[in-house]
Chains A and B, each alone.
Chain A
């Protein structure tokens, strides 16, 4: 089966409209995000120095990003010393080529995978499939997505849009086609579903000769990679197969082992709402007689250096993929992740995806910085203090600037006109007078109902207020700021 792809997704407003109509998904997301928000709030609230931890996390990441060249060379040297082979990949194609070459050299036709965002970003599964190599996802939610020929909709819980009865149907229908089938009397009890996944996956763990992972952190001074997980599937993949290939974004570095202290507090509390995650695996190269015989690390750029070059946008590279911003985002809660057309959904995706792909190339990517009401809930929750609203606004500026010189559309024309009007009090006063006159002619009931496009974008579901008889500035001029009011009703009490 060829994996589903985000390629060719429509712009956010179109995808969102479709997603909003999916009542099952709306309910699933409402329940799931509400639960995880409450859990996170509980475990974050009990840490006295949470704000200091956030600042420390941001500072450590900024130190790495500010000196990335040196840290990357240090990481390469320490990894090599520990017996790992380091590969450098400029883009997705180069990274995928490295993984496929290693697989071919070992004559394997399947790999088991640890949940990893970066291999989703480079669409490794599709590349492996095209090379005749099956990639088995072993994280429960990733397995649900893969078996359902679906797209992930959340960073931490990629199948968050599915409920347990949907999962049961997918398992019953698909497991048999890909390995050990689910029992015919499978129920939608979570423990029963997990049992089916365990039996299905165990066969693959025990058979696989090669595993592919990402890494949550790469420690520069010890050459250690770290994977943080909940299910133990990662531990299986990282220890059982003979060959291990880890694809790691170059921003994943922390300088020293001690720095993990900060992130191993920030990450689980922000992501799963746990004090500590159940499994933390760390490995430094090859240890004879223990774990994989051959360890490869693919250090991937794929747009990260261009994000780094953006003074405002580079803070996005601090991201530790916890998904706290998704869980608190009122837009995400309603649209789900697939509307963002990227493996990185929600607020962080709305800034990271356009920066990694480049702005001004396609409409769908350019729509992402606008997929936010700028309410700021994401910034409030972010464990590494990424000011997502600031970056969103910055990227909107870049989108507009990228389109300058082309034929101006409705929005651009309106904005230019509004700028002219709003640069001068007299011009604004003239507009207000026209609005006041229009009220006398058209709007007698104080509120405006349905209007034709493009005003229908507001009035389809909402009334609009009718313009008042008199603007504030006209009232001020007429009554000398209320000081010259002759009648009681002339002190400007509203007619609303």
Chain B
């Protein structure tokens, strides 16, 4: 289907909606610039991953129900989060099974495969690598675990960043190691979470980058929170915000 006639919704995610609205607005600006008239179904809330991954699967059932109702009828749903997209694609059917409701299972089976993480949507659906962005900064990328291991986005975020004018991408040492956020893991095992995060933050500092970029604000909230606590002077920024940036006046 031609992107211009696709009915596309943004699943902004509860975390971005509540805490990082700038990521959501960046997705909207970026997709409009690429000719996609993205919609925001206001009935949407959350993917339910926090509940599922903490063991509260019964409590995730109404959340998943809300999700499928909000996004019914869209050809594609774009999420600026690898973790939330992975939860929809891999966990919603488990939640539907727990509900014992075959209708919910059918709806999940229809909608889940249409949910894309941002870099997947740009490269696989729109076929765009150069999104016309301009970002004259030294940047390092943290490839998030769920986008890489559950979605298999591979080096898509990196490809997108390499096509940004003015941007210098520096390799992050031990890039593929988890940052230690892990959802409620960060609270249930705060000591281990921080031990992992401080190693990640150290590697970020070693790169000499001004900006740490990732496709998930959850990981960035954790690593960024460590970086600002130690006054590292490194900004954490979502991939969407970098890709939405343009030359002044452009």
Contacts and interface: CB of A to CB of B under 8 A. Distances in A.
Nearest to A394: B94
A330 interface: yes
Q: For B66, B182, B190, B241, which residue has the most chain A Cβ atoms within 10 angstroms?
A: B190
Interface string A402-433: 00000000011001101101111100100110
Contact of A482 (B29, B98, B180, B221): B29
B51 interface: yes
Contacts of B150: 376
B12 A462 contact: no
Contact of B53 (A377, A393, A425, A495): A393
B7 interface: no
A461 B17 contact: no
Given A422-B14, A492-B21, A376 B63 contact: no
A196 B177 CA distance: 38
B192 A494 contact: no
A457 B190 contact: yes
Interface residues of B, number: 79
A496 to B, nearest CB: 6
Given A393-B53, A463-B229, A13 B189 contact: yes
B136 interface: no
Contact of A468 (B12, B21, B63, B186): B21
Contacts of A460: 190, 194
A476 B225 CA distance: 27
Interface on chain B toward A: helix, strand, loop, or mixed SS?
A: helix
Interface stretch (A185-193, A252-260, A367-375): A367-375
Contacts of B48: 422
B56 A400 contact: yes
Interface string B234-250: 01010001000000000
A411 B197 CA distance: 23
Contact of A376 (B43, B70, B149, B193): B149
A106 interface: no
Q: For B16, B50, B59, B91, which residue has the most chain A Cβ atoms within 10 angstroms?
A: B59
A17 interface: yes
Interface string A12-42: 1100110010000000000000000000000
B23 to A, nearest CB: 7
A495 B185 CA distance: 28
B40 interface: yes
A372 B183 CA distance: 10
Interface in B27-83: 28-29, 32, 38-40, 42-46, 48, 50-60, 62-63, 65-66, 70
A263 interface: no
B175 interface: no
Interface of A: 12-13, 16-17, 20, 330-331, 334-335, 369-377, 379-380, 393, 396-401, 411-412, 415-416, 418-419, 421-425, 428, 431-432, 435, 447, 449, 454, 457-458, 460-465, 467-468, 470-477, 481-482, 491-496
Given A330-B177, A432-B17, A494-B23, 6 more contacts: A330-B196, A371-B189, A371-B192, A422-B66, A449-B229, A460-B190
